[in-house]
Structures are given as C-alpha cells and as structure tokens.
Structure 1
Amino acid sequence: MSGALSRFRVMAYVVGVGLLGLVFAMLVKYLGDNPGMMAVVGPVHGFLYAVYLVAAVDLALKGRWSLKGTALVLVAGTIPFVSFYAERKVVDSVRAGKSL
C-alpha cells in the first residue's frame, strides 16, 4: 500500500503543477493570442492526468475506497489547487487506516 500511496502523492503534485501550467498556457493562448505554449502543455498535462487517474484508482482499490471517495479524488485533478488538498486528505486518511 505504501508504494501505491507514494505513486499517488507524486502524481497528485505533478498534476497539480501541470494544471497550473495549463491554466497559464491557456491565458497565453487566449489573452496573448499565442497558441504555441498550449500545443505543448495541453497534451503533456492530458497524459500526466491519465497517469494520475491510474495511480488514484490503484490506491482506491488497495484502500477499498467508496465509489464516491474515489470519484472525488479523480475529479480533484481537474480543478486548480484541489489536487494538493486532496493529496493531503488522502495521505492523512490512508495513514490513519481509514477508507475514503
């Protein structure tokens, strides 16, 4: 379980930072009329989010999370800053031996 938790933690931070980069790239694209950055950051973030989903589902299966808890953690990677909060809550819950 500790391996799954470590993978999830890393991916939660990577996706959180990547999502902030994506928001910045979107601002550059739409406010600066320069789509170049978005063409790179968008697909990279999409791939990393898919890896985050796999890591979260792996941890959810090993931790026997509820469907609702799993869905909330999966959605957390789509809202800026929420993946950082979700990561902290998941770590606290797993270390306390609780299920989401």
Structure 2
Amino acid sequence: MLKLFKIVAILEGISYLVLFSNMLFIKPNHLELYKTLLYPIGMSHGVLFIGYVLLAFLLKKSQKWDLKTFGLILIASLVPFGTFYIEKKYL
C-alpha cells in the first residue's frame, strides 16, 4: 500500500500544479480551453486528493508516523510541491 501512496502522492502533486497553472494562465486569457479542461482536471485532482488523504490515514499506524509527521503529510497536500517533498523525505 505504501507504493500506491507514493504513486498517488506524485500524481496528486502533478494534478495540483496542472490545475493551478490552468487557473493562472488559461482562465485570465478567457481561452476556450479553460471550459474544456477545468472540469476533468478539477475532478481528477479532487479524486487524487481524497485518495491521498485516505491512504495517509490508512498508513499512519502501519508506518508508525507520529502526530508531527502525520500532520506534515496532510499539510503537504495543500501546498504546491508539498507532496513531492513528502514522497522524497518520508516515503
């Protein structure tokens, strides 16, 4: 399950960056791509985010993460590039 968590962490980080760049570059320019890309990117990011958090809760006990480590892992899902840092340092 740890390998699955690593994959989800990387994919969640990538989807976060893609969603963020979509909102920064495509939306302000009123491009038609915004309407066609926002829903699938947002949906995939949401599913990956929920999967990341659920897997973190499931792995907390088996990996023996203390409260500080677990809190950092959860907070990293809210910060751009955070999941990449967690994947390298804790996984």
**Runs of 4+ more than 2 Å apart:** none
Query: Structure 1 residue 6 and structure 2 residue 7: aligned?
Result: no
**Aligned residue among 19, 23, 26 for 1:22:** 19
Query: Where does structure 1 lack aligned partners over 5 or more consecutive residues?
Result: 92-100
For residues 70 and 12 of structure 1, what CA distance do their matches in structure 2 show? Answer: 14
Compute the RMSD of aligned alpha carbons: 1.4
For residues 75 and 8 of structure 2, what CA distance do their matches in structure 1 show? Answer: 14
Corresponding position of 1:61: 61
- Cα distance, 1:25 vs structure 2: 1.5
Q: Percent identity?
A: 32
Query: Where does structure 2 lack aligned partners over 5 or more consecutive residues?
Result: none
More contact order relative to length (CA 8 Å, sep ≥ 6):
2
